[in-house]
């Protein structure tokens, strides 16, 4: 597929071992699909180091550093210190992913909340937007985001997984909403409604690769080029040209992360 419309993957994990063998090919396919950039997202100490190392060598890959709720229980003071040091790199355009995950509950819930609040404070201090991960914990996460006045920091609810009521609250808090592969699934539940509901200037797209591969490649490894499949699906749901959606979501991503895209 040759596509000249711009696209942007706001949430990838390109530094994961899944891409170690063929990263160059993955990036080439992304560029051929029209991607103007990708943000590779850190989740723990080792992964934060890897994101920044990658972004320092690849001009159209930027980095985010954070401590995922799954890793919150194990996070040490050294992990926070390292994250704060890495966040000073000009290639780091966001803090996260951070948040609450009460679906898998891999860290105690009170620790998840504490680590989440701490990263919100840190993002405010360094003036970088936040990347929020939230699963089965929307009332609790929205309360923390409200208390932290996240609208003043800026950020995105990544891989949005809830309904229109939650989407409205995220928008009211000042967040952008990011849709990933699940909006293309048969069991997408409320996501098609959300895809139609979010104003065009508040919507961004992501892959969350290597996970959440969109239809028709579901079950295989995901990669940034497939954000084009999600874009086509969301454009059809909204009844707009895919080029229009690609341009708007790319512009939104650039604004979110403070990027001047070529
Ligand atoms: Zn996530
Ligand atoms: Zn992720």
**What is the pLDDT at residue 4?**
72
pLDDT reading at 3 higher than 70? no
User: Mean pLDDT for the chain?
Assistant: 97
C-alpha 19 – ligand 2 centre gap (Å): 15
For residue 99, the ligand closest to its alpha carbon is: 1
C-alpha 137 – ligand 1 centre gap (Å): 13
Chain segment 80-92, per-residue pLDDT in tens: 999 999 999 999 9
pLDDT reading at 1 higher than 50? no
C-alpha 2 – ligand 2 centre gap (Å): 27
For residue 12, the ligand closest to its alpha carbon is: 2
C-alpha 81 – ligand 1 centre gap (Å): 22
C-alpha 49 – ligand 2 centre gap (Å): 16
For residue 64, the ligand closest to its alpha carbon is: 2
**Whole-number percent of the chain with pLDDT over 70:** 98
Q: What is the mean pLDDT of residues 130-148?
A: 98
C-alpha 158 – ligand 2 centre gap (Å): 8
**Whole-number percent of the chain with pLDDT over 90:** 97
Give the least confident one: 42-46, 72-76, 176-180, 258-262. Answer: 258-262
Chain segment 195-235, per-residue pLDDT in tens: 999 999 999 999 999 999 999 999 999 999 999 999 999 99
C-alpha 97 – ligand 2 centre gap (Å): 7
C-alpha 112 – ligand 1 centre gap (Å): 14
Taking residue 153's Cβ as centre, other Cβ atoms within 10 Å add up to 22
C-alpha 103 – ligand 2 centre gap (Å): 15
For residue 47, the ligand closest to its alpha carbon is: 2
**What is the pLDDT at residue 261?**
86
For residue 211, the ligand closest to its alpha carbon is: 2
Chain segment 52-79, per-residue pLDDT in tens: 999 999 999 999 999 999 999 999 999 9
Q: What is the mean pLDDT of residues 15-37?
A: 98
C-alpha 65 – ligand 1 centre gap (Å): 13
Which residues keep their CB under 5 angstroms from ion ligand 1?
97, 133
C-alpha 10 – ligand 2 centre gap (Å): 10
**What is the pLDDT at residue 262?**
66
In contact, 119 and 153? CB cutoff 8 Å: no
């Amino acid at each position: 597929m040759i596509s000249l419309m711009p696209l942007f993957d706001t949430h990838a994990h390109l530094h994961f071992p899944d891409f170690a063998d063929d990263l160059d090919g993955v990036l080439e396919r992304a560029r051929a699909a029209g991607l103007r950039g990708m943000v590779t997202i850190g989740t723990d100490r080792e992964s934060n180091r890897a994101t920044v190392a990658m972004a320092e060598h690849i001009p159209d890959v930027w980095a985010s550093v954070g401590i995922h709720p799954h890793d919150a229980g194990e996070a040490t003071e050294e992990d926070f210190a390292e994250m704060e040091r890495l966040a000073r790199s000009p290639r780091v355009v966001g803090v996260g992913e951070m948040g609450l995950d009460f679906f898998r509950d891999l860290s105690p819930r009170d620790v998840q909340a504490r680590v989440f609040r701490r990263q919100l404070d840190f993002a405010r201090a360094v003036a970088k937007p936040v990347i929020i991960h939230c699963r089965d914990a929307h009332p609790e996460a929205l309360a923390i985001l409200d208390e932290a006045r996240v609208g003043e920091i800026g950020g995105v609810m990544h891989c949005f997984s809830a309904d229109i009521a939650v989407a409205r609250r995220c928008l009211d808090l000042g967040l952008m909403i990011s849709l990933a592969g699940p909006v293309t699934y048969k069991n997408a539940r409320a996501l098609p409604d959300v895809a139609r509901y979010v104003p065009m200037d508040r919507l961004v797209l992501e892959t969350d690769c290597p996970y959440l591969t969109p239809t028709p490649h579901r079950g295989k490894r995901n990669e940034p080029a497939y954000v084009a499949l999600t874009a086509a699906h969301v454009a059809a749901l909204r009844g707009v040209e895919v080029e229009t959606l690609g341009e708007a979501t790319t512009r939104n991503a650039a604004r979110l992360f403070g990027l001047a895209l070529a």
